[in-house]
Copies of this chain bind each other. A is one copy, B any other.
Amino acid sequence: MDTPLIWVVPFSGVLALAVAGYFAWDVLRSPVGTPEMQRVAGLIYVAAVAFIRRQYRTIALLALGGAVLIGAVVYFFEHVEGITSAELAVRTAVAFLVGAVASMLSGIIGMFVAVKSNLRTSAAAQHSIGDALRISLRGGAVSGILVVALSLIGVFVMFLAYNGFGNPSQAPFLIVGFGFGASFVALFAQLGGGIYTKAADLGADLVGKVEAGIPEDDPRNAAVIADLVGDNVGDCAGRGADLFESTAAENIGAMILGVAIYLATQNLAWVLFPLVVRAFGLIASVAGIFVVRGREEGDPMNSLNLGFYITTGLSIVFMALVTNTLLNEKDAWYWFFYAGVVGILTSLAFVYITRYYTSGASRPVREIAEATKTGPATTIISGTAIGFETTAPSVITISVALFLAYSFGARWSEATGFPNGGVYGTAVATMGMLMSAAFILAMDTFGPITDNAAGVVTMARASEEVRNRMDRLDAAGNTTKALTKGYAVASAALAAFLLFSAYLDRVAELTKHPFHTVNLASVNVFIGGLLGAMLVYLFSALAIRAVGRAGSAIIEEVRRQFREHPGIMRGTEEPDYARVVDITTASALRNMIPPGVLAVGAPVLVGILLRAEAEAAMLMVGTMAGVILATVLNNGGGAWDNAKKFIELGELHDDEGRVIGKGTAAHAAAVVGDTVGDPFKDTAGPSLHVLVKLLSTITLVLAPLFV
């Protein structure tokens, strides 16, 4: 352990646990509100836990099967000097299972904390928006900090366990199974949770708001509890698993790239750099979280932004420290510092891009709001055009960032004579971007917590004043949720090149031949690319259709309850929430399987049939197509959502300057747009992030099958 600064990794882990523990204690000791609030929160808690239990039982079975298959593939196809095939197989399978379990744990933590926090947030909203903000934020922070710390510690421990300090050129390849396990679980967690949350949302909205004409979160709606459960299992548990595997996979990929430079320099720091810089990022994020404070007046977003700027500023300082200390071969460290800054600034750029495209103050949302005046068709057309358009600033930003990070790294290679600086530069940029992961995830989890608390407050028939407070927080939560998705897509895109290079290194390692070329001019490679681009569409089709199907089942059940129990509508009879929860659960779990199997099966099939180079093209073009389609779905959905809010806030006017507000035809059109956007932005889009990462990890782990 003679690498300087490596002690920061365990230190930041302990710090993170302590801070998360403190926040958790702070949240749990807060008052729990009125009995009615507790009753509603209790219903949500029971249903959410039941879903997670059933879902994770299914996922655990799938993961066990996956581990056996992976072990078999490694046993029969991979041969590494100095290790028996059996040991290699067991190590890879164990890494897979550890990654899977850690990812499940992340999901469970995210969900559990959120469910506990939302009740306390609604209780606090009874007297102060500041307290409500503090609690919801700290609840989100527990989850954000723990998930990122778990991913950091998980990779570190696996590295130690597989003798990384003794044999650093092999250990990173041995722990890729960890990343694959994490992706595997994240895929099903995000799919199942995403389908659950949007099916319930769709069902609740269509029968409640549209057919029965009752407001959102009205207790007479039998689907309302399922809807609230959805926020926890989809937005919290799903996103937690997603970011867990993102950080883990990119960390491991960067370590693999570090091996090549380690072999040239004999300096272990090149392999350990990703761990160290992430540890510092965790510290910067914790600092940023501490800065955020709620005030009774003003936009809660201002405080959140300040926290993010603090995290960003600290990240830049830490990046200088770490590159200067670890990557200082021949005094040329600053090239990598520049690359790291590029990554950090990229995350900032995406915050602005996402905000521009999804905020009511800007042109795109206004354009959609104007289009609602001519009905749902023009609303959809306009939102689609906006969604398509958002790919331009996103892709151009990513392209510039990649180009700069690679160029800086290449200049380092020129200056020092060591190889692989360019691609390592992109890895440093990716790690720079991920430094703020804990902060971003904390903000993200804050979103569903406030969303849920707003629901609890409404269900518990709290006063108008309390509901207004929660609505303000909820609006901020919607923004942070959109920002996180932009961040997740951007990091996936930036990481694509590094993970792809790691795959090439891995194939070269397996075949003992250099592998630097994926030639699009070869027909198999072209076909592999074409199939990769197709995969993301077919996958999204299955995910979106799943929401439609599950939503229809919910609609029928709620209609049946209204029909057979007229007392529900009069408020004299309580609807059967549990039955809707059961239907949603069963439907989400059934429908997460086909897209999940497709995502895992397609790359395996293409790799076996068309071999390693075509598989690389599938990975690469699939990643490009996936990142771009996710951008379209996330931002289009977000813009529709906020166009609806824009109208609800009374900011749309007709030619004579009269407000066009709730209850108008324009508002109804906006609701259609919002409903269409829901499965785009909360099911298909986030699932695509996971798919893209899964493509990377699956190809890394199963490469022996394709060479």
Contact = CB atoms under 8 A, between A and B. Distances in A.
Interface of A: 202, 206, 210, 371, 374-378, 380-382, 384-389, 391-392, 394-396, 398-399, 402-403, 406, 422-423, 426, 493, 496-497, 500-501, 504, 516-521, 523-527, 529-531, 533-534, 537-538, 540-542, 544-545, 547-548, 551-552, 555, 616-617, 620-621, 624-625, 628, 632, 671-672, 675-676, 679-680
Given A376-B672, A628-B533, A548 B399 contact: no
Contacts of A544: 381, 384-385, 388
Interface of chain A, main secondary structure: helix
A316 B270 CA distance: 61
Contacts of A518: 519-521
24 contacts: A374-B551, A375-B672, A377-B672, A381-B679, A382-B545, A386-B541, A388-B538, A389-B537, A391-B538, A395-B530, A399-B527, A422-B523, A426-B523, A497-B523, A500-B520, A500-B521, A517-B521, A519-B520, A520-B620, A521-B616, A529-B621, A533-B624, A537-B632, A621-B621
A210 B378 CA distance: 12
Q: Give 6 closest A-B pairs by Cβ, nearest first.
A: A388-B541, A377-B675, A395-B534, A389-B541, A385-B545, A518-B520
Nearest to A547: B381
Given A206-B378, A675-B377, A391 B523 contact: no
Contacts of A541: 385-389, 392
Contacts of A396: 531, 534
B517 A620 contact: no
A552 B378 contact: yes
A408 B202 CA distance: 51
Contact of A391 (B423, B529, B537, B679): B537
A412 B146 CA distance: 61
Contacts of A531: 395-396, 399
A538 B624 contact: no
Contacts of A403: 523-524, 527
Instruction: Please indicate which of the listed interface residues A210, A381, A672, A676 has the most CB atoms of chain B within 10 Å of its own CB.
Output: A381
A551 B378 contact: yes
A683 B152 CA distance: 49
A84 to B, nearest CB: 32
Contacts of A676: 377, 380-381, 384
B547 A628 contact: no
Nearest to A527: B399
Nearest to A538: B392
Contacts of A527: 399, 402-403
A516 B523 contact: no
Given A385-B545, A422-B523, A533-B628, 20 more contacts: A206-B375, A374-B552, A374-B555, A378-B548, A378-B551, A378-B675, A385-B548, A386-B541, A388-B544, A391-B537, A399-B527, A399-B531, A403-B527, A423-B523, A500-B520, A500-B526, A519-B519, A520-B621, A533-B533, A624-B625
Given A541-B389, A544-B388, A406 B523 contact: yes
A533 B624 CA distance: 7
A521 B526 contact: no
A618 to B, nearest CB: 11
Instruction: Please indicate which of the listed interface residues A378, A497, A524 has the most CB atoms of chain B within 10 Å of its own CB.
Output: A378
Contact of A616 (B394, B520, B620, B672): B520
Contact of A371 (B371, B504, B548): B548
A621 B626 CA distance: 13
B398 A530 contact: yes
A624 B538 CA distance: 15
A534 B628 contact: yes
A388 B540 contact: yes
Contacts of A391: 534, 537-538
Given A531-B399, A552-B374, A526 B385 contact: no
A548 B628 contact: no
Nearest to A500: B521
A520 B386 CA distance: 29
A625 to B, nearest CB: 6
A257 B570 CA distance: 76
Given A389-B538, A538-B392, A545-B382, A501 B530 contact: no
Contacts of A388: 537-538, 540-541, 544
A385 B551 CA distance: 14
Nearest to A545: B385
Contacts of A533: 395, 533, 624-625, 628
A656 to B, nearest CB: 14
Contact of A206 (B377, B526, B555): B377
A381 B537 contact: no
A396 B527 CA distance: 9
Contact of A392 (B377, B378, B534, B547): B534
Given A381-B548, A385-B541, A389-B541, A530 B624 contact: yes
